Amino acid sequence: MEKRKISILGSTGSIGTQALEVIEKLQDKFEIIALSGGSNIELLTEQAEKFKPKYLCIGNSNKKVNIDGIKTLYGSEGLDEICSNKENDIILVAVSGKIGLRPTLKAIENKIQIALANKETLVMAGDIVMKKAKGNGVNILPVDSEHSAIHQCIKDISQIDKLIITASGGPFLHKSVDDMKNATVKEALAHPRWHMGKKITVDSATLMNKGLEIIEAHHLFNMPYEKIDVVVHPQSIVHSAIEYTDGSVIAQLGLPSMHIPIQYAITYPNRYEGIKTKSFSFSEIARLDFEKPDFEKFPSINMAYNAGKIGGSMTVCLNAANEEAVMAFLAGKINLYEIYRITEKMLEHHKLIQSPSIDEIFEIDNEIRIKTKELIK
């Protein structure tokens, strides 16, 4: 079988490094065209020497890297060049933040399949991205574990009654609002089930991550918000489920490991043994708990539903305001609960643009970030 040619944008991040672990295990299945990283040049160089991609893209052009036989590219132009290279069968977009959006669109225009780990791409521009993907016959394969679960459960999308997204509930699930207000950065970063980057871990503590995932699911599966439910499931064994019109519920289960959804996305529609370390055992797990999310303690979920239903630039506002607030929390400027207040205030005052273009989206994003920083001051 011919090797699948892949590029990884964001290879030094949490998803990127785990993707390389999957690829190392399945090395006879993949050829790496390009790796890209932001500021961790040391790790990126190490990865390049080990995996021998044709291209390496470095976020910061001040840092020069020379490795024999590898062409070094820089910044967003470098990402563009990678995403225009039709040698690629698939590109894993695992960069964090808004820098994922333009390269994803570029890859779609070049009819390259996408494994998408970057939520912002769909939260900011889901309408444009999905329309373009459809027009170019490009599959967007979700890497997010919940959306991967849904993708794995779906046989016929027209017969689905609802999507049921599970949420672990994060470290404050059974803590009080006061506990959240007094939480240190360390407590907010202590996620009970998943090891992830800092921003997404804080989002998991506030459940904003779930909010963003609702919007992501809406776009990926073209599902109205009324048909997307969230249920808290602390063990993170059921990764999400769908209910068919006849009442049948199909769920995808597995031990909490990002290797599985990453591998599913980059090897789809094939399945391989890969990094599977342990066989799944229902009796060892013994019990699975589910509960309704506390919408009052975690206002992020309804904020996301509302922003999503309004649509247009509202979700751009949600994403940018929340991210700036999370950064301020990580910098010790505000408490965890103020992330909600600030985001809410920004949403309240946002002047909606119904169908923003990509350029407008970036402008709005910029504007919201500046205003959010002012508000935080």
Q: Which parts of this chain interact with Mg ion (CB under 5 A)?
A: 144-146
CA separation for the pair 127, 123 (Å, rounded): 9
Decide if 35 contacts 116 (C-beta within 8 A).
no
CB of 239 vs Mg ion, minimal distance in Å: 8
Q: Which is nearer to Mg ion, 36 or 236 (CB)?
A: 236
CA separation for the pair 44, 16 (Å, rounded): 10
CB of 148 vs Mg ion, minimal distance in Å: 9
Torsion angle defined by CA atoms of residues 350, 353, 355 and 360, in that order, rounded to the nearest 10 degrees: -90
Q: Which is nearer to Mg ion, 200 or 320 (CB)?
A: 200
CB of 349 vs Mg ion, minimal distance in Å: 29
CB of 145 vs Mg ion, minimal distance in Å: 5
> What is the secondary structure of 318-354 as a DSSP string?
HHHHHHHHHHHHHTTSS-TTHHHHHHHHHHHT----S
CB of 144 vs Mg ion, minimal distance in Å: 4
Q: Which is nearer to Mg ion, 113 or 204 (CB)?
A: 204
Q: Which is nearer to Mg ion, 30 or 298 (CB)?
A: 298
**Encoding tokens for residue 144?**
């997010």
CA 273 remoteness from chain centre: 24
Please give the radius of gyration of the chain, using alpha carbons only, rounded to the nearest integer: 20
CB of 258 vs Mg ion, minimal distance in Å: 9
Nearest by Cα to 124 from 368, 369, 362? 362
CB of 96 vs Mg ion, minimal distance in Å: 13
CA separation for the pair 5, 165 (Å, rounded): 32
Q: Which is nearer to Mg ion, 147 or 371 (CB)?
A: 147
Which residues sit opposite 141 in a β-bridge?
115
Q: What residue number has its CB nearest to Mg ion?
A: 144
Q: Which is nearer to Mg ion, 144 or 324 (CB)?
A: 144
Q: Which is nearer to Mg ion, 113 or 145 (CB)?
A: 145
Q: Which is nearer to Mg ion, 319 or 372 (CB)?
A: 319
Q: Which is nearer to Mg ion, 146 or 243 (CB)?
A: 146
Let me know how long the chain is. 377
Q: Is 298 left (phi over 0), alpha (psi -120 to 50) or beta?
A: beta
CB of 210 vs Mg ion, minimal distance in Å: 8
Decide if 233 contacts 288 (C-beta within 8 A).
yes
Contacts of 359 (CB under 8 A, 6+ apart): none
Decide if 126 contacts 114 (C-beta within 8 A).
no
CB of 237 vs Mg ion, minimal distance in Å: 14
CB of 76 vs Mg ion, minimal distance in Å: 26
Other Cβ atoms closer than 10 A to 155? 9
Contacts of 302 (CB under 8 A, 6+ apart): 295
Decide if 314 contacts 347 (C-beta within 8 A).
yes
* Alpha helix stretches (DSSP H) within 161-197: 177-181, 185-188
Q: Which is nearer to Mg ion, 144 or 365 (CB)?
A: 144
